[in-house]
Chains A and B, each alone.
Chain A
Amino acid sequence: MTGATVDPAAVTEPDSAGWARSPGWARYLVVAGGAVALLLLGAAAGMLIGLPGSGGRAVPAADSVDVGFAQDMSVHHEQAVRMAIWERDHTADPQLRQLAFDIESGQSRQIGYMQGWLGLWGASSQATGGYMRWMPATNMPGTADMPAMTGMSDGHDMDSAATHPGMSRMPGMASESELRELTSSTGPALDVLFLRLMLRHHEGGRGMLSYAETHAQEPEVRNMARQMLSAQTSEADYMRQLLAARGATPLPPG
C-alpha cells in the first residue's frame, strides 16, 4: 500500500493502484463509512450485551447468611407445607382447612422466592451437613434444650458464625414419629395435634428469621425475613387462640 503511493508507476497491483489513484473524496468516503459501520456495529452489539440489567451487585457467597438462610428456611418451610397439606385434606373443620391452605400456599411461594435467589446466586438449593452454620450458636434459641443437637465446637468461638458444625435438626421441626402420629389421627385430635406441631414449628423458626432480618446482606432477604417473622407471629397468636378454644395447650419448645 505505502509502496504504491510512493511509486505511482507501479501498476503490478491493480487494486492498490486503483486505490492510490482514486480521488481524495472517495478514500475519505470509504474510511469514514468504515468507521461509521464499525461504530454502528459496536453500538448494536453493546445494546444487546447491555440489555439485561447491567451493573449488578455482589452475589452472596456460599457461606453467607443469605445463602444459609435461604437453604435452611426452605427445609423448615417444606415440613410446614407437608403438615399443612395433610391437614387441609383430612380435617373436617373449615376454619382449620382454611388455615392449613393459607400456610401451605404461602410457605410454598416463599420457598419459591428463596429457591429462586439460590439459583440466581449459583448456590446449591440445600445445604449438605449441619443446619444453621450461618448463624452463631449463641443466637440459636433453646439450643441447650435441643436433644438432637450435634456436638458444638467445644464451646469455643461460639460467637461467630460458621465455627460450629451446625445442628442435625432445626428448632421447631417435628420428628418423623410425630409426623406419623399426625397422619394417623382423625377428627378433633388431628386438628389439635396439627395446631400444636405447627405452633411449635412457627415458634422454632423465630431465631433464624430474626437473625437473617438483621444480618443478611441483600435487602430483599432482610425484608422477606422480617415479613415472615411478623406474619408467623400473628399466625402463632391465632393458633394459640384456636388451641385454647379447643381446650388444648401448646407443646413445649423444641
Chain B
Amino acid sequence: MASGKSSKAGRGKRAPAVRVKSTPWGTIAAVVVVVVFAAAVFGYAFYQNRQQSKQADALAPFTPTAANQDPSKAIPGVITASFQAGQHVTPAQRVAYTHFPPFGGAHDYNWAACNGVVYPTAVRSENMVHSLEHGAVWIAYDPARVNGEALNALRTRADGKPYTLMSPYPGLDQPVSLQSWGHQLKVSDTADPRIDQFIQALRRNQYTYPEVGASCDALGPGQFDPANPPAFEASPPGPGAVPELGANGPAAAGEQLRPPAQGGSG
C-alpha cells in the first residue's frame, strides 16, 4: 500500500521536469518484496515459538531440574512422607497402610501395570504402591462423586500415558487423589490446574522415585494380570499385616518372604 501511494506522488511531481530515468521502481519493488518475505518468515517463526512456549510456560516451573529437584514443593496442598524402598510382601500378605490411598511403603513384589492403564475397578493397594516406586503417578478417584465428563477429564490424563495409572478408590475422602512415591495431593475438582502440575513435577522425576529406569509393564497371569487385577480390599488389614514401613528385621523377613504358593498374585 505504501508503494502505491508514493508512486502516485512521485509521478505527479517528477515526470515532466526530468526526462531521464525516473525513480528506480524495480529496486524499490525488489526491496519491498524481500522485506515482506523476511517479515513473513520472521513473523511466522516468532508466532510459532510463542504458541509452543505459551503452553510449556504454564508447566515450566514444575519441570524437575538439577537445581529444582522437587518442583511439587511449589504446589499448594501436596503432602509428603519418606519411605524406605524395596520392602516387599507376597500376594498373600497385606500391608497396614496409614494413608488412604497409600503413597509409599511396603508393597507386593508384583507391581501393578502402570503403562497408561485405566482400571475400571478398584485394585489392591499393595500392587499400586509398587508402581509408585517405579516412577508412576496414580490417579485415584471416588467413584461415587466423579463420573461423566469429569471422569473423562481424568481419563485423558492417564489413558495410554506411560508411567500413569488410574483407578477408583472406594471411600476416598476427596473426589480426586493423586499419588507419587512419597507425595500426595487431594483435589475436589477435576479441572484443578494442580493436577497437571503434580504430574509434571513427579511422574518419572529422577530425583524423587527410588528405582530409576524401572518398568511399568506387567508379566501377566501368574504375576500381575492387568486384565484381571487383584481386587481392592476394603476390610481392615488385621493384626498379621506387615507395617507400612516394612518388616525389616532378618527374622521377620525370613517369615515374611517365605516362597509363596505358585501363581498367587490374585
Which residues from chain A sit less than 8 Å from chain B, CB to CB? 11, 14-15, 17-19, 21-23, 25-26, 29-30, 33-34, 36-37, 40-41, 43-44, 47-48, 51, 92-95, 97-99, 101-102, 105-110, 112-113, 219-220, 223-224, 227-228, 230-231, 234-235, 237-238, 241-242, 244-246
Contact = CB atoms under 8 A, between A and B. Distances in A.
A30 B86 CA distance: 73
A230 B133 CA distance: 13
A231 B85 contact: yes
A231 B86 contact: yes
Interface string B66-84: 1000000000000000001
Given A40-B41, A98-B109, A241-B250, 19 more contacts: A11-B20, A14-B20, A14-B21, A22-B24, A23-B23, A30-B31, A33-B31, A37-B34, A40-B42, A44-B42, A47-B46, A48-B45, A94-B110, A98-B110, A109-B215, A230-B85, A230-B210, A234-B84, A241-B256
B174 interface: no
A109 B88 contact: no
Given A21-B20, A105-B217, A223-B66, A29 B86 contact: no
Contact of A26 (B28, B66, B215): B28
A38 B222 CA distance: 69
Contact of B257 (A19, A109, A220, A245): A245
For B13, B49, B109, B264, the residue with the greatest tally of chain A CB atoms inside 10 Å of its CB is: B109
A29 B28 CA distance: 8
A116 B22 CA distance: 64
A219 B67 CA distance: 9
B259 interface: yes
Contact of A94 (B35, B38, B87, B262): B262
Contacts of B257: 95, 238, 241-242, 245
Interface in B207-252: 207, 210-215, 217, 219, 222-223, 248, 250
A97 B202 CA distance: 28
A77 to B, nearest CB: 10
Nearest to A13: B21
Contact of A34 (B31, B87, B262): B31
A47 B219 contact: no
Contacts of A231: 85-86, 210-212
Contacts of B15: none
Interface of A (DSSP majority class): helix
13 contacts: A14-B21, A40-B41, A51-B49, A94-B110, A94-B222, A102-B215, A223-B207, A227-B212, A237-B86, A238-B88, A241-B256, A245-B258, A246-B259
Contacts of A235: 86
Contacts of A33: 28, 31-32, 34-35
B120 interface: no
Interface in B65-121: 66, 84-88, 90, 109-110
A14 B20 CA distance: 8
B253 interface: yes
Contacts of B10: 23, 26
A7 B45 CA distance: 47
B54 interface: no
Contact of A37 (B27, B31, B66, B262): B31
